[in-house]
């Protein structure tokens, strides 16, 4: 049995033939429409506009969203979502999934908490790929500690007056709407609300952040709000109850990131194993050297443990049990496994692994954004201990 992306994944008893068909469908799409161009897009720092409607056509954008808004909901479960995240990671260019799928963290608050009129206006246009939405939470002085945000929204008549800025906003340069965390009350979590802000309102401006270690093809931005008047009906959920909206959303984001990081680890293993079979040093294949075999074995061992953890958590969520603490620690497990596998794969490839153009080189550069985004490893551990009553 060859050690590759698929064979390195543990058998999953929850997957059916329908899940296998979904994997085949999305893999065929990525093999045809994305992988041949992924490196070029990353180097150029942008994804073509045509990718969104193409992804919508095959059901990628609408997966799991209500059918009345153009989504695909019937028969869809968490395993369909995890398969999609795996196949996106197989591309080996993290910036593609970060931007193409950013609605996965920005749209759920609208679906779950917004007024019906907002849902009708926004959800269909995002799911068909014609419009985009980004999540705007992080600020220059507040990242994982969402309760400390300073962007203010003061109700004046029928509009909120918004002032402040957001930083490191994925998809921010091309978004049509921002699902935004704002302060409508006193300090702390109890004063946070969630507000949908159209990007074309007067007073909204943005600046491209293009000096990044990774995710080059993802448009990351700083967003500025200067006396922006946002209609009161754009409030998502209740005033001063937005912290719960955002925190609930984080669980699904961290789970998606975890699935991607576990899959990135298998990409590293696949490319390292293939290189070790073909590269010769000191008269024999790399994989005939015990030290290299042990590196690959250790990678597979850690991937096994991480994949098993991921399966258990997904199964629990599918049954309606969602532990924020266990999901937080899963994210840490996955980022550490990704980091280890990226490092060891880079060691096995040697000089060629350091050159641009390989999946391992790109994944190596994108370890930190995965370990920090959605909640840093340190914050995740602390969150878990608090969830467990310490």
The pair of structure tokens assigned to 29 is 């799409």
The pair of structure tokens assigned to 9 is 């994944």
The pair of structure tokens assigned to 379 is 């914050």
Q: DSSP letters of 160-215?
A: EEEEEEEEEEETTTT-SEEEEEEE-SSSSGGGEEEEEEETTSTTEEEEE----SS-
Residues in the chain: 390
Instruction: Give catalytic status of residue 139 as yes or no.
Output: no
* Contact in structure between 373 and 301 (CB atoms under 8 Å): no
Which single residue is written with the structure tokens 């969630």?
194
How far is the C-alpha of 179 from the C-alpha of 171, rounded, in Å? 12
The pair of structure tokens assigned to 242 is 């937005």
Q: Which of 87, 239, 253, 366 is catalytic?
A: 253
CA distances from 245 to 139, 141, 158, 190, 241 (A): 18, 21, 23, 12, 7
Distant-in-sequence, close-in-space partners of 189: CB < 8 Å, separation ≥ 6: 146, 147, 243
Which single residue is written with the structure tokens 């926004």?
122
CA distances from 380 to 78, 99, 225, 235, 385 (A): 22, 23, 30, 28, 9
Q: DSSP letters of 293-324?
A: HHHHHHHHHHHHHHHHHHHHHHHHHHTT---H
Chain centre distance of CA 82: 11
* Contact in structure between 107 and 123 (CB atoms under 8 Å): yes
Which single residue is written with the structure tokens 């045809």?
32
The upper half-sphere exposure of residue 380, i.e. CA atoms within 13 Å in the direction of its Cβ, equals 26
Which residues are annotated as catalytic? 253
């Amino acid at each position: 049995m060859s050690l590759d992306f698929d064979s390195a994944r543990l058998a999953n008893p929850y997957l059916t033939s329908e899940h296998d068909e979904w994997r085949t469908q999305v893999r065929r799409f990525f093999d045809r429409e994305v992988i041949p161009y992924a490196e070029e897009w990353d180097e150029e720092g942008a994804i073509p506009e045509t990718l969104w409607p193409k992804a919508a056509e095959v059901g990628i954008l609408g997966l799991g969203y209500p059918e009345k808004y153009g989504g695909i909901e019937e028969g869809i479960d968490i395993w369909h979502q995890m398969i999609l995240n795996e196949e996106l990671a197989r591309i080996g260019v993290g910036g593609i999934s970060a931007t193409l799928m950013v609605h996965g963290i920005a749209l759920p608050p609208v679906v779950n908490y917004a007024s019906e009129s907002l849902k009708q206006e926004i959800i269909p246009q995002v799911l068909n790929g014609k419009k985009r939405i980004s999540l705007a939470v992080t600020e220059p002085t507040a990242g994982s500690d969402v309760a400390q945000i300073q962007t203010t929204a003061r109700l004046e008549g029928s509009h909120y007056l918004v002032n402040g800025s957001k930083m490191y906003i994925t998809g921010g340069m091309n978004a049509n709407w921002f699902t935004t965390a704002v302060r409508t009350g006193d300090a702390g979590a109890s004063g946070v609300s969630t507000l949908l802000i159209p990007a074309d309102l007067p007073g909204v401006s943005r600046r491209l952040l293009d000096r990044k270690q990774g995710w080059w093809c993802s448009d990351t931005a700083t967003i500025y709000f200067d006396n922006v008047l946002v209609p009161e009906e754009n409030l998502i959920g209740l005033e001063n109850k937005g912290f719960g909206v955002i925190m609930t959303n984080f669980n699904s984001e961290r789970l998606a990131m975890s699935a991607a990081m576990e899959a990135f680890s298998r990409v590293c293993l696949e490319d390292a194993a293939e290189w070790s079979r073909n590269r010769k040093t000191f008269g024999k294949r790399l994989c005939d050297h015990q030290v290299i075999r042990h590196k690959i074995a250790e990678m597979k061992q850690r991937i096994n443990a991480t994949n098993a953890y991921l399966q258990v958590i997904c199964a629990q969520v599918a049954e309606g049990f969602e532990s924020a603490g266990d999901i937080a620690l899963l994210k840490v497990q996955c980022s550490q496994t990704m980091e280890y596998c990226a490092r060891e794969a880079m060691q096995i490839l040697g000089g060629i692994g350091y050159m641009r153009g390989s999946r391992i080189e790109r994944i190596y550069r994108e370890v930190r954004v995965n370990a920090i985004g959605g909640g840093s490893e340190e914050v995740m551990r602390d969150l878990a201990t608090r969830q467990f009553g310490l």
